[in-house]
Structure 1
Amino acid sequence: MEQDQHQITQVNYFFVSIVSGVFGVAIKNGLYQALSSQLEAPFRQIPANMLGCFLVGFFTNSNTSLQVVFDSVTSLAFWNQAMATSALNGNWFFALSSFITGLELAYISYKIGLDTGLMFHDAFGSSPEKEKKKKIFAEPSKFVAATSLWLLVAVLAVLDHPRRKLWLACLVAPLGAWTRHALSVKLNDHCKLELFPLGTLLANLLSSLATPGLLLVKITDPAAIVLVATVDAFQGGFVDSMATISTVMAEAHSLHKNSGKDKAWRAYLYVLLTMVTCFCVVVALVVALVAAITSIATKSFPAVANIQEFSSPNATTSSLFLA
């Protein structure tokens, strides 16, 4: 997957980041909103993760651009936050169940997408010569399409007040997708540590570090409308697009396939290291933040003393759909 990313031209890179960020935020938040009343909090991100992993697998061997585009449909940051919050609230069963079923369903979805994509590519795929011609002639149109899409989102963020948080999130989401891609390209291949893809792991860790801090900023001053809208947009757009579970599944599959039987354990270590480290980071930050606030500023911010604030619907991606 890392080698494929190097083949993306600068125009493709620009196109992929914008399309990935905008449509990724819109799709996963739409699914989250539709399922928020039917599933427990730790399970609400799993359908979007399944869809994103399937699409990434489907386009892996046919169109690299589309493969990377659908990376942002998945969400690791909010899924991890929901599991950590559920565990801190005493619902360890839901957290553990979400962890196990979420990983299994994500990997199965990626594998089904990969196999389905191979069948379609073998049946309907075009020759390498035709693909090269398509790429050459598609460069200007991709740049125009990506720029137009970004400008349209900016206009909607100004005019569509009921969904302003959603459009603001879509506006900054491409920056998160670009950051993740840049980290993956620069660190996954050039880092001397060959045990696992360091760039993707770092992107997921950074998003896990940012999520509790942004929630703290929002709930300490909920009356600040502009601040809350900005935090929601940055959290649901930039941070959530920087994190990904589909790339983790794709890289784990590649590690397992290319490492041989003696080193296949690296794939499992990489997945567990990503999930456990991100989970522990969120738990530690939430506990530390709540403990600090309750001991120093309980009188000024009484609502923050309740750890349930970190699992409320307004602290998650569903808030992007609120006015």
Structure 2
Amino acid sequence: MDHGQNESEPRRSGSFSHISSTNSSLRRRSLNRLGSSHREIDDDSVSEAGDIGDRAFDSKRHSGSGGLMFSFDNLEENVVLPIQEHSFKESQLDVVASPLPNVILLNKDQNEECKKDLPWLLTYISSRIHLAGLGILGVLTRYLLEKLFGPQVIGATGDHSYMYIDLAPNMLGSFLMGWFGAVFKGYISNFSPELAVGLTTGYLGSLTTFSGWNQKMLELSVDGQWVFSFLGFLLGLFLVAYSFIFGVETAKGLKWVFKRTNLSSKCGFSQVNNIMSRVILIVVMVTMLGLLWGVSVTLLKKDFDDDNSTSYLWFGCIVGPIGVWIRFYLAQLNGQGLGKTQMMKWMPFGTLIANVAAACIMAAFATIKKSVNDKHFNTVATGIQFGLCGCLSTVSTFIAEFAAMRESKHPWRAYAYAFTTMIISFALGTLIFSVPVWVKGWS
């Protein structure tokens, strides 16, 4: 502080000194956690880069973001630091300048308001509604992208090519994960932690699908196109990884524009979440989920009897949220390791189990469809594959974890994780799908 400060403000000077000291400590802790460079990420935490399930709402460990804010984002820009109660009198300024850029200092009344939160049960229900509603939107978006880039329109992807039919949704979902799962997730969490998790785990997790990717490679191998199958995995991993990186870089560029123009402050992006806005959002999500389920049931009844080709989509929208919820619960295993010693803590076992399980279920239904020649059963089976398996598995979270591991002190773990997921899924899928097809001679 300036030595020429008025004698009548010694209390304020002392409080600013205290705040400056607190901010310096906070800055050091943030930098220690994030790392001073992209190669200094905590290796015990990279497996939490994607999703951590219910632990996302544990304020003692995370700031509501639902995932690790690894090196792509800066926690300091979203910090809300309450003023110590003894620092100012209630009649003094409500908001004061801070030595730490972009840190909001609140008085006692505002601090009490920020401490208010939704009841636990309402938060629990709200998070599941967000996951379900946005998960169905992810299923619909995936369907539209498959049709748009598939043989019937653009023709960039296909069922019998290493440019598999789900490539476009996987690339777009990975790109958007760079935006909403890495760079802007903290801003969204400030408004609503449930929305942040709903967008990443619900929408992007359902927009992308690992099980569909694995099944297409299995079908190529069954037809003897082993080279295409290998290229599909290799090229697919390359394209989704760089889609995520491109998403991160473009989001950081937009974030820089926000800083230069101070647009984030003007639009209220830096404001703390409040109860009323979250309640309104819950009402919107409940209404949206009710409409999506209602329309899906109505259209399924209509199309199911007529054997319409879109009937599997509506069944997939109905059962899709089940896959999202299971994946959300499995995500609690991420960052926990194996056994009491927490061996291989760096491996996101929740995401691994979700992807492998979905790939196996999809392969099993593909095998059953070969043996059961019934249109109605095919509709139900395909709906489960497209909806439940598509939402249970994810590429966007998978690639976010892959990217975080590549930026850690042991980048080889990223490739160990990726190839472990692919090899196990493909090997089990071969036993469940390919071997029966070869033995029975099904076309």
TM tier, shorter chain? 0.7 to 0.9
> Which ranges in structure 1 are unaligned for 5 or more consecutive residues?
295-304, 310-323
- Counterparts in 2 of 1:144-155, with a 5 A limit? 144-155=287-298
Name the counterpart of 2:300. 157
Report the alpha carbon displacement of residue 108 of structure 1 after superposing the two structures with TM. 0.7
Q: Which residue of 1 aligns with 2:354?
A: 203
Partner of 1:188: 334
Matches within 5 A, 1:30-109: 30-37=144-151, 38=155, 39-41=157-159, 42-43=162-163, 44-60=165-181, 61-62=183-184, 63=188, 64=196, 65-68=198-201, 69-109=203-243
**Distance (whole Å) between structure 2 residues aligned to residue 20 and residue 140 of structure 1:** 14
Q: Specify the alignment match of 2:365 in structure 1.
A: 214
- 1:272 corresponds, among 419, 429, 432, to 419
Structure 1 contact 45–75 (Cα < 8 Å) conserved: yes
Superposed displacement of residue 240, structure 1 = 1.4
Identical-pair percentage: 24
State the superposition RMSD in angstroms.
2.3
1:118, distance to aligned residue in structure 2 (A): 3.0
Q: 1:232 aligns with which of 382, 387, 392?
A: 382
Provide the C-alpha distance between the structure 2 equivalents of 1:56 and 1:15, rounded to a whole number of angstroms: 20
User: For the residues of structure 2 that align with 1:84 and 1:146, how far apart are their CA atoms?
Assistant: 34
Deviation readout 1:8-38 (Å, 9 max, x if unpaired): 6424422332233322222222222333322
d(CA) in 1 for partners of 2:296, 2:366? 25
Is 1:249 equivalent to 2:399 in the alignment?
yes
**Equivalent pair of 1:25/1:173 in contact (CA under 8 Å):** yes
Q: Is the contact made by 2:211 and 2:390 (CA closer than 8 Å) also made in structure 1? A: yes
User: How far off is 1:200 after superposition?
Assistant: 0.4
Deviating more after overlay: 119-128 vs 99-108: 119-128
- The answer on whether the counterparts of 1:59 and 1:114 sit within 8 Å (CA) in structure 2 is no
| Partner AA of 2:299 in structure 1 | L
1:13 aligns with 2:127: yes
* Counterpart in the other structure of 2:271: 129
Equivalent-residue separation in structure 2 for 1:181 and 1:147 (angstroms)? 21
- Counterpart code for 2:295: L
Q: Equivalent residue of 1:190, what SS?
A: coil
Q: Mean Cα displacement is larger for which, 119-128 or 276-285?
A: 119-128
Q: Given residue 200 of structure 2, which amino acid in structure 1 is its aligned partner? A: Q
SS of 1:144's partner is helix
* Structure 2 equivalent of residue 300 of structure 1: none
CA distance in 1: counterparts of 2:216 and 2:52, whole angstroms: 33
For 2:169 and 2:216, the matched residues in 1 are separated by 14
Structure 1 contact 18–150 (Cα < 8 Å) conserved: no
Shift of 1:120: 3.0
Give, in whole Å, the separation in 2 of the partners of 1:190 and 1:90: 40
Answer with 140-149 or 245-254: which moved more: 140-149
| Aligned counterparts of 1:199 and 1:83: Cα–Cα separation in 2 | 23
User: What runs of 5+ residues in structure 2 fail to find an aligned partner?
Assistant: 1-49, 58-65, 67-122, 189-195
Choose 1 or 2 for highest CA Rg: 2
Shift of 1:132: 4.3
Q: Secondary structure at the match of 2:334?
A: helix
SS across alignment from 1:15: helix
In the alignment, structure 1 residue 286 sits paired with structure 2 residue 415:
no
Candidates 128, 133, 139, aligned match of 1:25 = 139
| Superposed displacement of residue 266, structure 1 | 1.3
CA contact (8 A) 1:52 1:70 kept: yes
Whether the 8 Å contact between 2:316 and 2:383 is mirrored in structure 1 is yes
Cα distance between partner residues in 2 of 1:218 and 1:87: 18
Distance 1:73 1:164, change over 3 A: same
With normalisation by structure 2, the TM-score equals 0.61
Residues 1:177 and 1:266: Cα distance change in structure 2 (over 3 Å): same
Tell me the residue number matched to 1:115: 249
**Deviation per residue, 1:215-251 (Å, 9 max, x gap):** 12222121x3332221111111101111111111011
What SS does structure 1 have at the residue aligned with 2:394?
Answer: coil
What's the offset of the Cα at 1:90? Answer: 2.0
Residue of structure 2 in register with 1:2 after alignment = 51
Q: Call closer, same or farther: CA 1:10–1:117 in 2, change over 3 Å.
A: farther
Q: Residues of 1 paired with 2:419 and 2:215: CA distance?
A: 16
